[in-house]
Amino acid sequence: DFDVRLPYIGKDELGELSGSIQKLANDLERLKNERNEFLASIAHELSTPLTYLIGYTKVAMRKEISEQAREQYLSIIAEESERMKELVKNLLDLAKMDENTFTVSKEYFGAQTFFENIVKLVGPSFEMKNIKLILLCENNFQVHADSLRLEQIVLNLLDNALKYSKENTEVTLTVRKKEKKTIISVIDFGIGIPTDEVEFVFEKLYRVEKSRSRSFVGSGIGLAVVKELVEAHGGSIEVKSIYGNGSTFTVTI
Ligand code: ADP
């Protein structure tokens, strides 16, 4: 026979305990839902460009189409593939950040050449939407950052600026030095973000107004990755936006 003596648990403590168990169960349920939502959004995100890729590849393979049309299809295929590569890169980074196996290796490099190259890279996508991309970079100074990561940060911000801009507008990328810090701003005159939603845009999976989001391809992870990358540099990011008029994202590293 065992003499089991349970410690005395008062009514209040029992209530508290069952409350915490309930809370734990709710948290688990919420995590499960978030994970499912996340997977569904990633699957959607990858399957949309894949559908295009398959379609355009099939058309490009047809014998009867003109060489000019074929070239056009191939360039769409190349561009869509690039976007998918970026998305997968963001996802991998997010996973690494969660495991804390993520590192940045800082180096010094010239600001002007670095940002000019980024502008060259994204130039064609801006031209396609007739949006003027302007680079204002302070005279040659050195940036201290992980250049690949910084490229990823700026590309993500430019990608959003382009995506949420109206045709025939401007996007400005400004880069300046303040004391030992580099301040980078991406300014657009796009659809903007409602004031009460601004604080959430850096959260994983967050997308402004579900209904409006449907008309823009996106997963709501770009800015979460940007924020983590900036913070891994010991820097900060902020956003100012006027709903309907445009947004400015500013990174300080
Ligand atoms: P997404 O893949 O949906 O663009 P992000 O994490 O990059 O995901 O952005 C989160 C949300 O913030 C977007 O769904 C969008 O509603 C809003 N957002 C981000 N950048 C801008 C911008 N430049 N202008 C307006 N809204 C933006």
Which H or E run contains 81? helix 67-99
Closest residue CA from atom 14 of ligand 1: 207
pLDDT over threshold 80, residue 5: no
DSSP letter (8 states) at residue 8: P
- Nearest-10 Cα torsion for 133, 135, 136, 142: 160
What is the pTM for the complete model shown?
0.74
Using one digit for the tens of pLDDT, what is the confidence trace for 240-251? Answer: 999 999 999 999
pLDDT in tens, 196-226: 999 889 987 677 765 566 566 666 778 988 9
Q: What is the DSSP string of 136-158?
A: EE-SS-EEEE-HHHHHHHHHHHH
Closest ligand 1 atom, CA of 207?
A: 14
Cβ–ligand 1 distance for 246 under 6 Å, the answer no
Whether the complex's predicted ipTM is more than 0.95 is answered with yes
Distance separating alpha carbons of residues 28 and 34, to the nearest angstrom: 10
Residue of 223, 239, 240, 241 to mutate, ligand 1, most atoms within 8 A of C-beta: 223
User: What's the 207 CA to ligand 1 centre distance in angstroms?
Assistant: 6
From the CB of 189, is ligand 1 less than 6 Å away?
no
Q: Is the CB of 153 under 6 A from ligand 1?
A: no
